[in-house]
């Protein structure tokens, strides 16, 4: 029987259950189960399929048990900003709505017509994005949402998964920091802001730091996964980005930055304190909670989502979507088309191919036509965006960055790494691919 720490890592496109064991002082990972994470469109909204994801999580835990692992503890991390509301009895009030839902359209503009954007940034330190929890709640409040009226607690996705495993409801700091509702310096809820928004204060629970216990698996869960011993669920650095960033080696000789590459691209550095200056706000940087009280000072960039969505569409059309075909085709494709990856038209279009084509036509460029051309256009545009992000970062830091670690699933895209290195002009180090899970497991070990 091998003792294992289980990392459950939910990304915007897929989830995985990974067992981590110590072997001669080294962390050895075993990917037990991978499953897709889909966005479901229904009744004019876009949802996550929480119930399926919960089932998939349990399946993965059961598979780890069946493989002979004794579970030491479990840690859950997910993407940021999204949440579920539960009532006093612990019932989930509706499926969590996906941040790509259009309910937040125009909300930042409306909010900042009443609130001073500079003063707000000086407290929250968050890059204003319509997807943020603040604007999701603002939209719900505005439509007089019934769930909001009866809700007892707001639980971010990792809080929610943990809650249904253990029955303990709390809010982990790193994930709460993606909400735009925290005081970045105090590292806890900004209740002044919460009151101004007219949100019930009781929704916001205890903010617990990474490393805190989230309780033990409920008897019914133990029965379902086939164990009879106690397993503790630990609040890890439960925001996937912050968990990934925690494994980047810091060095005294190099000025190191990270690019967490997946559905999103998060480009930044670790900082001891939040950077809440006007320059940081104007440059679009965010201060999110990290490990050991550190801050992930980063820019949130639309990442491989554009390519993922294209590939999904091509798959539905019966086309080849293997990376081993698409990337070589992109390298030899001839197109100069470039897009602004952060343009809102790419956030949730019904057809990504059409959105790119329309963007190029509107911007007087010849649109890509073959699959290779589309991929080249997207990857070159990403690399260019990393260049501007890096320039902005260097303007804000006392010393320029000398090395970039590309971590997460996207770090396997060698063509993109090469384009990035060419664009930013400093060495790019690839991996680890499973940075988030490694960060998750290390936190449990601590
Ligand atoms: C990456 C990520 C980003 C966050 C985005 C939306 O998976 O967590 O950090 O901004 O998802 O939640």
Question: Does residue 441 form part of some domain?
Answer: no
178 confidence band (pLDDT: 50, 70, 90): very high
Closest Cα to atom 10 of ligand 1 = 80
Q: 281 falls in which pLDDT band (50, 70, 90)? A: very high
CA gap 236, 438 in Å, rounded: 11
Inform me whether the pLDDT recorded for 370 exceeds 90. yes
Ligand 1 atom at minimal distance to the Cα of residue 78: 8
Which residue of 11, 39, 80 sits with most ligand 1 atoms within 8 Å of its CB, as the best mutation to test the pocket? 80
ipTM attached to this prediction:
0.97
Q: For residue 264, which atom of ligand 1 is closest to its CA?
A: 1
Nearest CA to ligand 1 atom 2: 79
Domain boundary among 207, 238, 269: 238
259 and 143 within one domain: no
- Based on the fold, state whether residues 187 and 325 are members of the same structural domain: no
Look at residue 431 in the predicted model and tell me its pLDDT: 85
| Cα–Cα distance, 277 to 352 (Å, whole number) | 36
* 47-91 residue pLDDT tens: 999 999 999 999 999 999 999 999 999 999 999 999 999 999 999
242 lines ligand 1 (CB under 6 A): no
Whether 349 shows a pLDDT value over 80: the answer reads: yes
Residues 296 and 162 in one domain: no
Q: How far apart are CA 328 and CA 173, in angstroms?
A: 42
Active-site choice (183, 240, 272, 343): 240
* Rounded Cα–Cα distance for residues 418 and 404 (Å): 12
Instruction: For a ligand 1 pocket test, name from 97, 159, 176, 241 the mutation site with the most ligand atoms within 8 angstroms of its C-beta.
Output: 241
Tokens 């460029």 belong to which residue?
A: 365
Q: Please confirm, yes or no, whether 30 is among the known catalytic residues.
A: no
Position 33 scores a pLDDT of 98
Q: Is residue 444 in a domain?
A: no
Say what the pLDDT of residue 3 is.
95
Domain co-membership, 345 together with 200? no
Calpha distance 361→317 (Å, rounded): 23
**Could you give the CA distance from residue 78 to residue 82 in angstroms, rounded to a whole number?**
9
Kindly provide the residue ranges of all beta strands, DSSP E only, lying in 232-356, ordered along the sequence.
232-234, 256-261, 264-271, 286-289, 295-302
**Whether residue 5 has pLDDT greater than 90:** yes
- Say which residues have a Cβ less than 8 Å from residue 404's Cβ, sequence separation at least 6: 256, 257, 258, 259, 390, 420, 424, 426, 427, 428, 429
- pLDDT digit string (tens) for 135-170? 999 999 999 999 999 999 999 999 999 999 999 999
Quote the ligand 1 centre to 346 CA distance (angstroms). Answer: 16
The pLDDT of 380-393, averaged and rounded, is 98
The answer to whether position 150 is within a domain reads yes
The verdict on 209 and 287 lying in the same domain is no
Q: What pLDDT, in 10s, does the model give residues 105-124? A: 999 999 999 999 999 999 99
Task: Judge if the beta carbon of residue 266 lies within 6 A of ligand 1.
Answer: yes
Q: Is residue 393 part of a domain?
A: yes
Whether 1 has a pLDDT exceeding 80, the answer reads no
CA distances from 29 to 61, 247, 277, 291 (A): 15, 14, 40, 21
410-427 pLDDT tens trace: 999 999 999 999 999 999
- Same-domain status, 187 and 335: no
Residue 219, domain member (yes or no):
yes
> What pLDDT shows up at residue 253?
87
Does residue 420 share a domain with residue 313? Answer: yes
Write down the mean pLDDT value for the chain: 97
- Distance (angstroms) between ligand 1 centre and the Cα of 80 equals 5
Identify whether 52 is part of a domain: yes
Q: Do residues 230 and 324 both lie within one domain?
A: no
pLDDT band at 353 (very low <50, low <70, confident <90, very high): very high
- For residues 229 and 296, membership in a common domain is answered with no
The reported pLDDT for the residue numbered 57 is 98
* Domain tally, the chain: 2
pLDDT at residue 252 in the model: 82
Residue 263 Cβ inside 6 Å of ligand 1? The answer reads: yes
Tell me the CB-side half-sphere exposure of residue 443, using CA atoms within 13 A.
37
422, part of any domain: yes
Residues 406, 261, single domain; the answer is yes
- Express as a percent the part of the chain with pLDDT over 90: 97
Q: Which of 238, 260, 280 is the last residue of a domain?
A: 238
Q: Where residue 371 sits, what CATH number does that domain have?
A: 3.30.420.40
The predicted model scores a pTM of: 0.95
**Domain boundary, last residue among 238, 261, 295:** 238
Indicate if 111 and 61 belong to the same structural domain: yes
What mean pLDDT is predicted for residues 358-384? 98
Query: Which range marks the domain in which residue 307 is found?
Result: 248-435
- Is there a single domain that holds both residue 206 and residue 284? no
Q: pLDDT tens, 28-54?
A: 999 999 999 999 999 999 999 999 999
**Domain contains 298:** yes
Cβ-contact 46, 98 below 8 angstroms = yes
Burial (0-12, 13-18, 19+ Cβ within 10 Å), 204: buried
pLDDT confidence tier of residue 401, bands split at 50, 70 and 90:
very high
Instruction: Compute the radius of gyration of the chain from its Cα atoms.
Output: 21
Would strands 295-302 and 286-289 be described as parallel, antiparallel, or unpaired?
Answer: antiparallel
Give the span between the Cα atoms of 255 and 99, in whole angstroms.
33
DSSP 239: B
Q: Which of 266, 267, 288, 302 to mutate to test the pocket of ligand 1 (most atoms within 8 A of CB)?
A: 266
């Amino acid at each position: 029987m091998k003792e294992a720490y289980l990392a459950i890592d939910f990304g915007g496109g897929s989830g995985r259950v990974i067992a981590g064991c110590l072997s001669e002082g080294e962390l050895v990972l075993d990917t037990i189960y991978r499953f897709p994470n889909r966005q479901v469109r229904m009744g004019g909204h876009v949802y996550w399929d929480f119930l399926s994801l919960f089932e998939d999580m349990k399946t993965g835990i059961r598979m780890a048990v069946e493989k002979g692992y004794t579970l030491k503890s479990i840690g859950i991390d997910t993407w940021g900003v999204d949440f579920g509301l539960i009532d006093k009895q612990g019932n989930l009030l509706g499926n969590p709505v996906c941040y790509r839902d259009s309910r937040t359209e125009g909300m930042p503009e409306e909010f900042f017509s009443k609130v001073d954007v500079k003063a707000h940034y000086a407290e929250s330190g968050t890059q204003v994005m319509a997807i943020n929890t603040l604007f999701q709640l603002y939209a719900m409040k505005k439509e007089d949402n019934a769930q909001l009226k009866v809700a007892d607690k707001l639980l971010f996705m990792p809080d929610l998964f943990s809650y249904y495993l253990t029955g303990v409801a709390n809010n982990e700091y790193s994930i709460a920091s993606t909400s735009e509702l925290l005081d970045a310096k105090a590292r806890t809820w900004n209740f002044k802001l919460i009151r101004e928004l007219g949100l019930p204060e009781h929704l916001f629970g205890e903010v617990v730091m990474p490393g805190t216990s989230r309780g033990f698996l409920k008897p019914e869960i133990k029965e379902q996964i086939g164990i009879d011993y106690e397993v503790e669920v630990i609040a890890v650095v439960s925001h996937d980005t912050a968990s990934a960033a925690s494994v980047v080696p810091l060095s005294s000789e190099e000025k190191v930055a990270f690019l967490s590459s997946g559905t999103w691209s998060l480009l930044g550095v670790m900082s001891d304190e939040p950077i809440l200056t006007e320059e940081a706000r104007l440059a679009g940087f965010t201060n999110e909670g990290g490990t050991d009280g550190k801050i992930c000072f980063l820019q949130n960039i639309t990442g491989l989502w554009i390519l993922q969505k294209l590939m999904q569409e091509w798959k539905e059309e019966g086309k080849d979507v293997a990376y081993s075909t698409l990337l070589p085709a992109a390298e030899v494709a001839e197109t100069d088309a470039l897009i602004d990856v952060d343009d809102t038209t790419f956030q949730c279009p019904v057809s990504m191919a059409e959105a790119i084509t329309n963007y190029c036509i509107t911007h007087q460029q010849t649109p890509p036509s073959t699959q290779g051309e589309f991929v080249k256009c997207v990857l070159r545009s990403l690399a260019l965006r990393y260049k501007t992000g890096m320039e902005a970062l260097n303007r804000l830091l006392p010393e320029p960055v000398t090395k970039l670690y590309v971590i997460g699933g996207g770090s396997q895209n060698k063509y993109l790494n090469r384009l990035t290195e060419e664009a930013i002009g400093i060495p790019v180090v690839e991996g680890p691919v499973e940075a988030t899970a490694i960060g998750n497991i290390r936190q449990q070990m601590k």
